[in-house]
Amino acid sequence: MGNYYSDLSPDFKKKTVKLKAIEGYSYSKMIRDEIDSGSMKSGEILDLYEAMLMIREFEEMILKLRTGAYESVKSYEYRGPTHLSIGQEATSSGACSVLGIGDYITSTHRGHGDSIAKGYFAIRGMGEAELRARCPEFSSLSGEELIEAVMQDHIFRTVAELFGKESGYGRGRGGGMHIFDCRVGHLGANAIVGGGVPIATGAAMTCRIDINQDNKGKVVCCFAGDGAYANGVVLEALNWAAQDQFTNKKLTSINRGLPIVFCIVNNHFGMTGRAEGEVTGVDYLARRAAGFDNDNMHAEIVNGMDVMAVRDALARAKKMLLDGKGPVLLELDTYRYYGHSLSDPRNEYRTKDEEERWKDVDPVSSFRRRLLDEKIFSVAELDALEKKVARRNALAAARAAESPDPDPAEVIKYMYSDEFSKDVPAPYRKIDIRGPEPTVKRDSEGRINYRDAIKEGILEEMKRDARVVVYGEDVADYGGAFKLTKGLLECFGRGRVFNTPISEACICGTGVGMAMTGYRPVVELMYMDFALMASDQISNQAAKWHYMTGGKMNVPLVIRCSVGGGKGYGGQHSQSLESLFCHIPGTYVAYPSNPYDAKGLIKTAIRDQNPVVFVEGQLLYNVKGLVPQEEYLIPFGEAKIAREGRDLTIIAWGPALPDSLKAAEILSAEGISAEVIDPRTLVPFDWETVFASVEKTGKCIVASQCVDIGSFTGEIVSRIVENCFDSLDAPVVKIGAKNGVAPQAFSLEAAFLPSVEDIVSAARKLI
């Protein structure tokens, strides 16, 4: 596509780089001013107050539950988390009041308020048809009666999730720290500090490029606390969101910044540590923006105790996002009245005087005073609303306490999605081909190599479904470190194929966000070793959201990881780490050993609704094999008998599979008939094929290039012994790399990795 970047020339002339100013606390309007100017109606003002009341009532309920003081459920024993957000009601309500039903939010472990507010304003924005669709059981109701019934259902499902009940938003699987409602764009609260920030960034990437008219004009509001803004993946996400390539006209036809507003909910405490004066070197966290964007990401400091100021800032931010000027960063200056949790007495790190000073500007009581002082509403009107909110919460709590617990027999139900992308929605069937398709050349026998087989599979899926996007380090113009993606950029353009910062956690985290919002990202980690940099986003985010939402949210993400053992790359570029992700329920793990399987498995991975860690052996990239040009898929969980035999079963994957086939040839010359099984996917694993083979042969070897200790080979051995004990004529043997660090020296690496001779020797001993 040519060089789209400006040529760089040395320029060492003396200069001063000036940073732009950041405005703070600029909102000073009266409530009456907003009404008189027509920017707000009195009903919208009352909605703000009701939303804050609902949050305060819910959070105080949690506080009272601990001491049995909440009247409607005095006898209920609550055992969940107690991360209260009392004092922060204005941030949630003010922000969510300007968001549309389909706009997205992500939240924090202290996120009940964000969830309640997002649901409240979404319900207020629904028509009667939408309300009935949300709660069909109320189809006979109308008007305010219908709205109230749906609102009470919202609180009921929030309380039920807090109580771990089947009727909760996540069917009790996620709990309060993971509260969500994808029907109104709430992608989930996150118990990992900062864990939701790259997810929100990925959701904004979907909003930026989505061709479906129904999704255009959506924005993302990312709530995260002050503590999160010292977290690596959060800073990666800020850098990611501010990339020039999103607005560089030479690079993209989608000349629009990411439509995301990062809301720093600065309540002045991480757990107990303070951002200012202790664990950072800045007076305001809004300064963080200067490190990532020449315009400071339009950063602003906002009075987070004033719901009107928050609403005003978010409204202006949303307009900027819709005008293509995102991202935006807002620091919402608020306060957390209680400790990190109720086990934290907070007297060791702050004073009562400090708390009282903040309570003097309490967001709920201060707003009430303003409504009365400016004669917006009467005392009777506000009293009636306060009683209504308290009564609604009490009824919801009582109903939740009495509702059924999840069935223990279904403890791991919803671990994986059983859905598959069989049909592409109409808007995504039209593919915008920007240039020539990359060619995959077959030899005279119709063979291609393993690398090109994966490439052909990805190409076919990108031509089938516009939701499939490919990104990673250097995958665009350069085609990736191993040239596997070469030509995809020219064919599909930079909206669907693009380079990323060297930010493995953010590569995977944004992939989670895109997958949650309907896209099917295929992200590349150059080496599997780097998956350790992204382990939270793979293991705590991608792997868990389907389960924690009770099966209501899918994460169709493919994470391609190359494995470099055997190439002399040393300890940080050579590890076979697939066993780690076999230990994390919620992810699938595929590892093809040949070109035919490589193409069929990558296509299946892209269409599957679960996150897939797709492992590619670099030693296999140049291996050739017959690969049909017509479409085919290989189902996950179906092993292949690569060679039939009667005396011995060898189970192997990756480069250990061709080694096992070579060993079988040697053994055959000695009169030993070895059956070789290629699992193709480690999760799900085809136990039936393995057990049937072992029951036939009575002897078994399990081999891989993983370090022996803790390898998935041990799990296979354990299951074989458990299920085939009576058929075994000898102990099951496992073969792997030495229990050490991969060395660079050729002589040492040859001794470190398992070999054909190791497999042959083990087989001889068994026979």
Q: How confident is the model over 720-760, as pLDDT tens digits? A: 999 999 999 999 999 999 999 999 999 999 999 999 999 99
Q: Does the residue 384 lie in any domain? A: yes
Assigned domain for 412 exists = no
CATH number for the domain including 723?
3.40.50.920
What span, in angstroms and rounded, lies between the C-alpha atoms of 522 and 148?
Answer: 43
Active-site entry in 83, 109, 186, 573: 573
CATH number at residue 493: 3.40.50.970
Contact 413, 550 (CB under 8 A): no
> What is the percentage of the chain residues whose pLDDT exceeds 90?
92
Q: Which of 626, 657, 679 is at the close of a domain?
A: 626
The 10 Å Cβ neighbour count of residue 688 is: 12
Choose the weakest-confidence range: 49-58, 271-280, 296-305, 611-620.
271-280
Q: Pick the last residue of a domain from 405, 438, 456.
A: 405
Q: Are residues 590 and 655 in the same domain?
A: no
- Whether residues 94 and 175 share a domain: the answer is yes
3-state secondary structure of 181: strand
DSSP for 284-316 reads: -GGGGGGGT-TTGGG-EEEETT-HHHHHHHHHH
pLDDT tens for each residue of 32-67: 999 999 999 999 999 999 999 999 999 999 999 988
**Residue found by looking up tokens 């009495």 in the block:** 402
Q: Is 265 helix (H, G, I), strand (E, B) or coil?
A: strand
Final residue of a domain: which of 580, 597, 626?
626
Q: How many CB atoms lie within 10 A of CB 732?
A: 22
Q: Is the pLDDT of residue 388 over 60?
A: yes
Q: Kindly state whether residue 676 falls inside one of the protein's structural domains.
A: yes
pLDDT at 176: 93
Question: Quick one: 582 and 481 in the same domain?
Answer: yes
pLDDT band at 1 (very low <50, low <70, confident <90, very high): very low
If asked whether residues 474 and 500 sit together in one domain, one would say: yes
Cα 231 to chain centroid distance, Å, stands at: 16
For residue 508, what are its two tokens?
């995977």
Question: pLDDT at position 353, please?
Answer: 95
Phi-psi category of residue 487: left, alpha or beta, with phi > 0 → left and psi -120 to 50 → alpha? left
Quick one: pLDDT band at residue 495, thresholds 50, 70, 90? very high
Query: Tokens 């501010």 — which residue?
Result: 242
Give the neighbor-by-neighbor strand order of the sheet with 300-303: 23-24, 300-303, 328-333, 260-266, 220-225, 104-108, 186-190
Strands (E), 513-587: 520-525, 558-563
Residue 517's pLDDT is: 97
* Alpha helix ranges (H) inside 482-586: 488-492, 504-516, 535-536, 545-548, 578-582
Q: Are residues 136 and 111 in the same domain?
A: yes
Q: How far apart are CA 482 and CA 469, in angstroms?
A: 18
Determine the average pLDDT of the residues in 79-93: 93
Over residues 525-551, the mean pLDDT reads 96
Residue 496 vs residues 161, 205, 453, 534, 628: alpha-carbon distances, Å = 37, 11, 20, 22, 26
**Integer angstrom CA distances of residue 446 from 81, 99, 443, 750:** 60, 55, 5, 33
Contact partners, residue 765, CB within 8 Å, separation at least 6: 733
Domain with 713 in it: 640-766
The two tokens of residue 459 are: 């190409």
Rounded Cα gap, residues 350 and 664, in angstroms: 70
Catalytic: 83? no
The structure's pTM equals 0.96
d(CA 756, CA 752): 13
Which residue type, as a one-letter code, is found at position 173? R
- What is the reported pLDDT for 420? 93
CA dihedral defined by 388, 393, 398, 400, rounded to 10 degrees? Answer: 140
Query: Would the pLDDT of 6 be above 70?
Result: no
H or E element that contains 249: none
pLDDT over 60 at 457, yes or no: yes
Residues 100 and 200 in one domain: yes
Judge whether 410 lies within some domain: no
User: What is the DSSP-derived secondary structure letter of residue 743?
Assistant: P
Domain assignment of residue 606, yes or no: yes
In tens, the pLDDT along 657-710 reads: 999 999 999 999 999 999 999 999 999 999 999 999 999 999 999 999 999 999
Least confident among 59-68, 219-228, 502-511, 544-553: 59-68
Per-residue pLDDT for 217 more than 70?
yes
* Claim to verify: residue 199 and residue 317 sit in the same structural domain: yes
**Whether residue 620 is found in the same domain as residue 658:** no
Task: Write down the pLDDT at residue 4.
Answer: 58
Task: Give per-residue pLDDT as tens, 118-167.
Answer: 999 999 999 999 999 999 999 999 999 999 999 999 999 999 999 999 99
Q: Are 723 and 581 in contact (CB under 8 A)?
A: no
Residues 313 and 272 in one domain: yes
Provide the pLDDT for residue 258.
Answer: 97
Q: Indicate if 457 and 556 belong to the same structural domain.
A: yes
Taking the alpha carbons of 296, 297, 303, 305 in that order, is the dihedral positive or negative? negative
Mean pLDDT of the chain: 95
Counting the structural domains of the chain, the total is 3
Residue 13: inside a domain, yes or no?
no
Helix-helix angle 307-322:42-65, to 10 degrees: 110
Residue 699, domain member (yes or no): yes
| 354-376 pLDDT per residue, tens | 999 999 999 999 999 999 999 99
Domain-embedded: residue 470: yes
Closest C-alpha to 125, from 239, 210, 237, 47 = 47
* 253 and 148 together in one domain: yes
Residue with tokens 């993209």: 252
Separation between Cα atoms, residue 735 and residue 714, nearest integer Å: 9
Residue corresponding to tokens 């459920």: 73
Q: Are residues 690 and 735 in the same domain?
A: yes
* 701: DSSP letter: E
Report the distance separating Cα 310 and Cα 89, nearest Å: 11
The percentage of residues in the chain with a pLDDT greater than 70, rounded to a whole number, is 99
What's residue 568's pLDDT?
A: 87
For β-strands 447-449 and 624-626, DSSP reports them as antiparallel
Is the Cβ–Cβ distance between 601 and 680 less than 8 Å? Answer: yes
